[in-house]
Amino acid sequence: MRSLFPSMRTAVVASTVAINAMFVATILRQCTIVHGDGPGGFGEVLVKGMLAQISLAAFICVLVSARSTLKNRDRKHGVPWVSLLATATLAAIFILCLQDACSDQAGYCRSWRVELSPRSP
């Protein structure tokens, strides 16, 4: 029986890229929502735009380090640290975005629920 991933290194890199892609998708979704109006909203757009650009740059670093990890079989000490730093940056921005979504007066997090199967009509 043939495995989906040829080596453990490939599986680790694939899972790292998948987790970071989920972080970036959530961050970019939350960065498009602006709660303020007037000058406060303009500042919020600037801050969220900066966070979106930082998260995209960190995700590109993860992709580059994943490619170099898979392509080069010799041990490079800088590549895993770049990936770890980029993942930590994305996780921190992800937590900030979740905190922003849950701290609204409308209480968006209160209406969250897990649906395991589609509703029947």
CB 109 within 8 A of CB 101: yes
pLDDT in tens, 97-119: 888 877 766 555 665 666 666 66
Q: What's the DSSP call for residue 113?
A: -
For 75-85, what is each residue's pLDDT tens digit? 555 577 788 88
Burial grade of 73 (CB within 10 A; 0-12, 13-18, 19 or more)? exposed
Domain ranges of the chain: 8-110
pTM given for the model = 0.72
